[in-house]
Chains A and B, each alone.
Chain A
């Protein structure tokens, strides 16, 4: 049998229609990592990138692959600390603290002076007031945990304060052309600063311990965060 041209075209059209889906399926979410039994979704990651850009006052398009990877790491660290919160009897962060933080952030953005400007700014970053508060509440809660857990073990003696005053603060003030201040005036603030530095050091070690004792798995082509970015 010999095929004529119109028949061939008709057949091709039928085949094309038969095999062409009416609407192609599109991915709406996927797992990117798991921390113990908890999953981190692609949508969580995207939100975290937006939130971190918002927090840092950076345009979204400036968020590079390194920033995205860092955001995923932050999500993992948050989850590890959140597990610790569940195991403790730490009370949740009070609403007033959350409101203070929102006010503090809002003050930093000139265009957020008006409600419309504030809403527009949040929308620009894919946020709304509710999920911003929710994120800040979690952040405050984690900070309280870190403080409660690590601060009692930090001891700053007067020698360290004096050393910081002489080696760090005075040179900085001189360089900036400011008048020097008395050690007794700034001693409490230096102590707090050094305490926070020490807390940060301890937190790094704590997170390392938590990570090594946890089951963290990157779900993707080859199972690493780097590959997920590609």
Chain B
């Protein structure tokens, strides 16, 4: 290659050479031999054909359709004259399509004395897919595919295949497979001009580490190096092992403060006879580096925090300068506004140590007590202040934040802000006043703004858009009558070019010009000039890689259609949609032959199916005291071992669709549980419908207490009505049997209590919140209803309706968005009504007739189906589910048929604190509401703010009359710490009016040491109680 270049260089230099007395070489004389004039040329002269009429143009290697297409493309037409230049233009046009690897032109005399022009072509092939077989775990198939550097849709050449094979071989060697054999099998498909390349990997045995040698002066022996690097003879050679070895060795030097140490692998030699690799590490430890300060004492922790060489384990100019800037900021934060920080580097101890000294000249200490802004009319002072880096003394900076550089930057930033809003003549001056107000070392800054006139857009002309009408453009920032702004124009440029790009115009060009309006002062006429360039369209969409997936499942997600403009955003959306199906491990989209000149482009969609079956299994032992001892006389149970086996199967791509079937199970002596679910998004081929069917079986032996068998099944159809509105239609059946109950039935967890419910229902969800995790504005409404009836297998007949309305409002218009207060409120109303022979009975009343003690057991709403309230996500004046009516005997909450809850919360903006930065915020809340036995009780309770006659609850004789019909109120404060998954929440609630309630205990207590006849004999000791005023909650996510 160098020879070629040199030859041509000499050729040019020959012409460059000026006439020179010495060494000038004139052009050689002409050849005296006047033999044949033809060079060793390979083409016959065209002179005999030049000017002949072209009778026809043929492309013998192409289909009839393609021939027609190419005839339209070439400049020579039948009837035209043949010329060398015309043939060249034809070949250039054909080559520009990039569809041909080789083109030659032939001429054939016809019987009529004319000529037929024939273009013989050899097609190019484009990469359609790359498959890898036989690869080991590492490198995996994707790593090998990436290493091949064969891009989907690009022209495939022999050189690229050679490069791919070399790269794959290299990655195999890096992973220790030196004896690997890699072969490639390209499969060509003429019709689509695609080539599908399969790489077959025969990895062979993985090499092991042979000898580990060292060069340089590491200060360690070869054995120590092996130990530090954790790389010994016989270890398998892997990429991770080698890179980890280097990391460990570097860290070793860093621990010695040798931050400039250089560790590298100088050589790796493969010995095929033993299949081992000998490594040679080179070391250059460098000096010990110490970071010091002079002129002002800075603690080591401050230094470590501000000088990034410790974090990066490296010393270079950039890091040292960053450290200098950080220290300067640190000093300014302390009030040393005129501080100067310099760097001195010096070698000591004969070069064994290297000192980096930050020389700090703190200068006098000031306090910035005031920043005054004047002359601003268009922007508020708050907004301007929020744009400034200079800050007066406050919470974060006890002395304020200032230096002349920052102030200059702020002035420039404010001027830019004004100019961006049409104030082209804005002038901002700043003045720093020392000893402000007679206070020594107090600074004040006065910023004066002379806004000048505001230029508005007089007229907006858009020219050059010949293919897309202006009314189809997206909304632009530049508008007539609005401030003239270069920022807006720059944004409009992006908007329009993006719009064109996504409409198939990748080469669109935008130019903007502005001139003063001729008839209106202070107005500017703006002209956008567009050069659209050629529009590209989708010819056909070629999908490959599907093995089990039904084609329609993919086609449904493909956003690019034949004939549509070639849109980049549609390609990305297609890729996103296909990934969202969850059945493909890799999705690639590409334009075939992107560099070809033809405006019709094929789009390639290549998918790789994920493994359809995922198995998870586990075997274990549970050691537990109190093993169930049902049927024995050991109430404490026994200590023992319970084996536990779990087995889960997930089947993706069920029936070739993006449907998923999941089976989960675990079996032990304590619990046997199985779940089967079927999930079908895009039900009935509609993206707005989703079907899920779940069945669940659970057999639990709770420790020493009870056995429950739970069978639950649900069918749910979810309909996405609009972006914010969702409807759920469902049928749920749950049957729970409890047996061997050794405790009071009230103590059994809700979902383990005996019940049989069959309930069809629906949910309406309208979510217009700006952010579900951290809502600051918008609303959230839900309506959830259902009817349980014996007709559906339910043991009780009742209907259920729960309505929630939540709204969020920002307060403080002038504050920046992240400093605004948020008022959040939520109201929940729940109603259950009974029909048929189902009844609602007051707590403790066993029979429909008040006072009766014996009757046929009435049908009531099962306990798990009632409303409960209390806890961090509902009423924070109660513990979990502790609100509402209670059993007069046990004191346990019974839930109710009505619910009312109102929450109001004032969410304060984040407080900027050291360490926490601006992630911490506070909230003040007020919760009120309760759960009621019946709807009537709720209506009558709204006027009651205290528990009616709590003394009735405190006496054993009147405990049955204890009423909970009032609105319980709680106030409190909350702490929020922002995390990516929502705020971590700590709430402290104070219940203003907690209820009193009766309870009968099994053991005597100090207040009632003697049994009470009105309590049952199993728990004869009466103990009235009152819920606590204080409740503390810790959870993740906002309350509502």
Contact = CB atoms under 8 A, between A and B. Distances in A.
- Report whether chain A binds chain B: yes
A125 B37 CA distance: 6
Given A39-B92, A61-B36, A28 B46 contact: yes
Contacts of A161: none
Interface string A176-211: 000001000010010011001101110110011001
Contact of B12 (A26, A125, A189, A203): A203
B156 to A, nearest CB: 13
B149 to A, nearest CB: 14
Given A22-B109, A204-B9, A217-B157, A29 B43 contact: yes
A85 interface: no
Contacts of A147: 16
A76 B1 CA distance: 12
B27 A108 contact: yes
Given A27-B105, A124-B34, A77 B16 contact: no
A189 B37 contact: no
B23 A193 contact: yes
Contacts of B855: none
B39 A50 contact: yes
Given A74-B7, A77-B4, A172-B23, A60 B36 contact: yes
B1013 interface: no
Contact of A55 (B1, B27, B92, B109): B27
Residue among A28, A147, A181 with the highest chain B CB neighbour number at 10 A:
A28
B319 interface: no
Interface stretch (B95-103, B287-295, B406-414): B95-103
Nearest to A201: B9
A46 B39 contact: yes
A41 B91 contact: yes
B38 interface: yes
A112 B31 CA distance: 12
A23 B110 CA distance: 7
B21 A200 contact: no
A31 interface: yes
A57 B22 contact: no
A14 interface: no
Interface in B4-41: 4-13, 15-18, 20-23, 26-41
B9 A200 contact: yes
Contacts of B2: 204, 208
B111 interface: yes
B1029 interface: no
Contacts of A197: 13
A194 to B, nearest CB: 12
B44 A26 contact: yes
Q: Most A CB atoms within 10 A — which of B8, B10, B84, B111?
A: B8
Interface residues of A, number: 79
B91 A29 contact: yes
B23 A30 contact: no
Nearest to A205: B5
A92 interface: no
A15 interface: no
A57 B104 contact: no
B10 A200 contact: yes
Contact of B20 (A24, A34, A143, A189): A189
A63 B39 contact: yes
B87 interface: yes
Contacts of B40: 49, 61, 63, 65, 68
B951 to A, nearest CB: 94
A123 B45 CA distance: 14
Nearest to A63: B39
Interface string B910-933: 000000000000000000000000
Contacts of B84: 28-29, 43
Contacts of A140: 15
A37 interface: yes
Contacts of A90: none
A31 B103 contact: yes
Given A39-B95, A58-B28, A60-B36, A25 B108 contact: yes
B294 to A, nearest CB: 42
Contacts of B95: 31, 34, 37, 39
Contacts of A111: 30
B261 to A, nearest CB: 34
A37 B594 CA distance: 13
A200 B108 contact: no
B118 interface: yes
B105 A28 contact: yes
Interface in A36-58: 37, 39, 41-43, 46, 49-50, 53, 55-58
Nearest to A221: B102
A200 B8 CA distance: 9
Contacts of B1: 208, 211
Residue of A41, A146, A197, A207 with most chain B CB atoms under a 10 A cut-off: A41
B41 A46 contact: yes
A73 B4 contact: yes
Given A29-B84, A41-B88, A77 B108 contact: no
B1 to A, nearest CB: 6
B9 to A, nearest CB: 4
B107 interface: yes
B29 A110 contact: yes
B49 interface: yes
A93 to B, nearest CB: 11
A59 B107 contact: no
Interface in A132-178: 139-140, 142-143, 146-147, 169, 172-173
B148 to A, nearest CB: 18
Contacts of B49: 28
Interface string B73-99: 000000000001001100110011000
A220 to B, nearest CB: 8
B742 interface: no
A108 B105 contact: no
A143 B106 contact: no
Contacts of A192: 18, 20
Nearest to B106: A25
B84 to A, nearest CB: 6
A181 B22 CA distance: 11
B595 interface: yes
A57 B31 contact: yes
10 contacts: A25-B106, A27-B44, A27-B104, A53-B39, A146-B16, A173-B22, A189-B18, A200-B9, A207-B4, A211-B1
Given A30-B102, A200-B6, 8 more contacts: A23-B108, A25-B118, A28-B49, A28-B87, A46-B39, A189-B20, A197-B13, A207-B9
7 closest Cβ pairs, A-B complex: A57-B28, A59-B31, A30-B104, A23-B109, A25-B108, A73-B4, A108-B27
